[in-house]
Amino acid sequence: MDDLSLEKIEISGPTLASLIQRASSSPGNVDGLIFGQIHRIVSTNLSDDSPAESFASSSSSDKIVATVTSFLCSGKTVSFYDPLGRVDSRRIDSLRVDSPDRLLGWFSARRKTANRPSMRELAVASSLSSQFHLPIKDPENPKSTNMASCVFILLTTPTTDQLIHTHEYRAYQFRYSNQRLEPRSLGIVNIGPAFREHYGSFSPKSGFPPLICEVSSSAMNVDHDEGSLSAIKQAVKDQKEIDALADGLQVGNLKRLVGAEAANYTGGIEEMYERMLAKVESLALEVEKSSARVLELDNHNRKLRYRVARIGR
């Protein structure tokens, strides 16, 4: 069990966003620990042939997937290892929080550097793998097994300043047999029917960043003509209808999207989005009709001005 390969590494969208936000808001380079679980997934492929041929041609594959559920950022570099990359287990124990999830590995966030591991990061992964083994949960075998390995996530910023593309990230697995960091695909688990099976697997410890939602009333304090007031009243009415769709789905309840209550809560979220999209689509059609009417009136006024100019001559 010392040289198993991970099929892929998965992380929830909010956890990855929180990790990127933590790295971008720090004054310099940072590193930290990542926690989660490792599952063994057995999938069977069956063909549509006759039963005898189907049994002969059926095949089962054994996949090992690492799921990142939380992280702990130290706020600096060289937080749990020395400059030579040797891990201090006592410092890790002092940094770790009480969590049902196990230590999977670590991450490093650098600024304006190449998106590939450095020699020191390789040394840290090697030292971490020798001291902490990854536990594998097998649904068919209640007795867990361990593998000498380490998950490593590297975050970097582009070498040149860019307005939209701000961060790059890659995931690696340290293979103890050949002492290498091998790249692995990083799957982002988001909200939707395609990811429903993952909802109960995530219990992130990194809370959502504070969201400031303020409704500005300055526009209501300015004098408007009758047309503007009617437009404002209609906008307020539409906003109230959209707010009614989100009644009971406050931002603070987003934590229910993961965990035991996710199966029931996500259905309501998806229904709310469908109703909101239908309302937004109807508003868009009304705007399209009003724009066409405005264009028609503008063309009519242009013709009138042209006629008046000809009569004036």
Can you give the CATH number for the domain in which 174 is found? 3.40.140.10
Q: Could you give the percent of the chain with pLDDT greater than 90?
A: 14
Say if 219 falls within a structural domain. Answer: no
Say if 18 falls within a structural domain. Answer: yes
How confident is the model at residue 123, as a pLDDT? 93
Say if 128 falls within a structural domain. Answer: yes
pLDDT at 151 over 90: yes
User: Residue 2 and residue 229: Cα distance in Å, rounded?
Assistant: 72
pLDDT at 154 over 90: yes
pLDDT at 313 over 70: no
Tell whether 173 and 141 lie within a shared domain.
yes
Which residue pairs, CB below 8 angstroms and at least 24 apart, start in 40-45?
A: 40/64, 40/136, 40/137, 40/138, 40/139, 41/7, 41/65, 42/140
Residues 6+ apart with CB under 8 A from 199: 257, 258, 259, 262, 263, 266
How many domains, in total, are found in the chain?
2
How confident is the model at residue 117, as a pLDDT? 92
Tell whether 186 and 232 lie within a shared domain.
no
How confident is the model at residue 177, as a pLDDT? 81
Residues 6+ apart with CB under 8 A from 122: 85, 174, 179, 180, 181
More confident site: 48 or 12:
12
How confident is the model at residue 216, as a pLDDT? 47
Of the three residues 201, 235, 251, the one that is the final residue of a domain is 201
Classify strands 134-138 and 30-45 as parallel, antiparallel or unpaired: parallel
Tell whether 180 and 244 lie within a shared domain.
no
Residue type, 199: Y
Of the three residues 132, 167, 201, the one that is the final residue of a domain is 201
Say if 50 falls within a structural domain. Answer: no
Mean per-residue pLDDT over the chain, rounded: 75
Of the three residues 201, 233, 265, the one that is the final residue of a domain is 201
| Beta-sheet strands, E only, within the chain | 8-12, 30-45, 59-73, 102-109, 134-138, 141-147, 149-156, 168-175, 180-184, 186-189
Tell whether 68 and 183 lie within a shared domain.
yes
Say if 136 falls within a structural domain. Answer: yes
Say if 308 falls within a structural domain. Answer: no
Tell whether 91 and 239 lie within a shared domain.
no
pLDDT digits (tens, 9 = 90+) for 206-265: 555 554 545 444 444 444 455 566 666 777 777 777 666 666 666 566 666 666 666 667
Tell whether 293 and 242 lie within a shared domain.
yes
Residue type, 6: L
Classify strands 186-189 and 8-12 as parallel, antiparallel or unpaired: parallel
User: Residue 74 and residue 88: Cα distance in Å, rounded?
Assistant: 14
Tell whether 177 and 268 lie within a shared domain.
no
Backbone angles phi, psi at 157, to 5 degrees: -110, 155
Residue 40 CB coordination number (10 Å): 18
| Total residue count of the chain as it appears in this document | 313
Say if 242 falls within a structural domain. Answer: yes
pLDDT at 53 over 60: no
Backbone angles phi, psi at 182, to 5 degrees: -100, 130
Tell whether 190 and 115 lie within a shared domain.
yes
Q: Could you give the percent of the chain with pLDDT greater than 70?
A: 65
Tell whether 108 and 168 lie within a shared domain.
yes
pTM attached to this predicted model: 0.56
Q: Which residues of 206-226 are buried (b: 16+ CB within 10 A; e: fewer)?
A: beeeeeeeeeeeeeeeeeeee
pLDDT tier at 70, thresholds 50, 70, 90: confident
Tell whether 21 and 77 lie within a shared domain.
yes
Least confident range from 57-66, 85-94, 264-273: namely 57-66
Say if 216 falls within a structural domain. Answer: no
Which domain does 73 fall in, by range? 8-44+55-201
Tell whether 100 and 137 lie within a shared domain.
yes
pLDDT digits (tens, 9 = 90+) for 111-149: 888 889 999 999 999 999 888 887 776 655 555 567 778
More confident site: 171 or 242:
171
Tell whether 32 and 115 lie within a shared domain.
yes
End-to-end CA distance of the chain: 97
How confident is the model at residue 55, as a pLDDT? 44
Q: Which residues of 290-312 are buried (b: 16+ CB within 10 A; e: fewer)?
A: eeeeeeeeeeeeeeeeeeeeeee
Residue type, 228: S
